[in-house]
């Protein structure tokens, strides 16, 4: 059976879903769907970015592929960050929102540095596939790789107030 590039890409990206362990809080339990989707895109970007640093000394250095990925999806990634900033700014201000996103990014990057992500070959393959993919491919990759395992600042506090 011959598979198209899209099928191979989908299978490859789907295989990554089981690799990341779940952090302690689930975004879908306290954020509206557009914010959760934006956080997934943001954290997918961070996983790939942090992986570049982890993998640059080996055979699977994908810095050039990551640059192509980030250039191709710059608008979508920027829009996702703006959705998050808008949501987190309500009642807390833009500076707090920016700090919350920085916390999420740092925690995600630390997980990648600690090895809680696909191996360098898989990250390289993902960056290559997404560098040539559409924004729909980007969203599917974020759904599969990150799913509901988004590190969520402030979420537990908000949930605790309602119970």
152 pLDDT band (50/70/90 cuts)? low
Helix (H) or strand (E) holding 144: helix 135-145
CA distances from 32 to 27, 35, 61 (A): 9, 6, 36
Which range is most confident: 3-7, 69-73, 122-126, 157-161? 69-73
| Section 111-129 average pLDDT | 85
pLDDT of 154 > 90? The answer is no
In this predicted model, what pLDDT tens digit does every residue of 14-37 receive, in sequence order? Answer: 433 333 333 333 445 577 888 888
Domain that holds residue 150: 5-162
User: Residue 133 carries which DSSP code?
Assistant: S
Residues 6+ apart with CB under 8 A from 54: 112, 113, 120
Cα separation, 132 vs 100, whole angstroms: 31
Q: How many domains in the chain?
A: 1
Mean model confidence pLDDT for the chain? 75
Higher pLDDT pick, 49 / 149? 49
**Rounded Cα–Cα distance for residues 105 and 119 (Å):** 19
What pLDDT score was predicted for residue 143? 78
CB count in 10 Å sphere of residue 123: 24
| pLDDT bucket at 52, cuts 50 / 70 / 90 | very high
Answer yes or no: pTM beyond 0.75. no
Please tell me the predicted confidence (pLDDT) of residue 108: 83
Q: State how far the alpha carbon of 38 is from the alpha carbons of 13, 42, 139, in Å.
A: 18, 6, 9
């Amino acid at each position: 059976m011959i598979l198209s590039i899209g099928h191979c890409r989908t299978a490859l990206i789907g295989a990554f879903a089981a690799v990341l362990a779940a952090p302690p809080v689930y975004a879908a339990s306290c954020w509206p769907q557009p914010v959760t989707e934006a956080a997934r895109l943001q954290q997918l970007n961070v996983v790939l970015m942090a992986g570049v640093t982890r993998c640059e000394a080996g055979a699977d250095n994908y810095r050039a592929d990551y640059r192509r990925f980030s250039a191709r999806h710059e608008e979508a990634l920027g829009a996702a960050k703006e959705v998050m900033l808008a949501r987190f700014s309500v009642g807390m201000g833009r500076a707090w929102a920016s700090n919350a996103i920085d916390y999420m990014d740092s925690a995600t990057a630390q997980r990648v540095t600690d090895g809680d992500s696909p191996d360098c070959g898989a990250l390289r393959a993902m960056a290559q596939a997404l560098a040539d993919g559409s924004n729909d491919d980007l969203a599917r990759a974020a759904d599969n790789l990150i799913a509901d395992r988004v590190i969520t600042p402030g979420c537990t506090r908000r949930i605790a107030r309602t119970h």
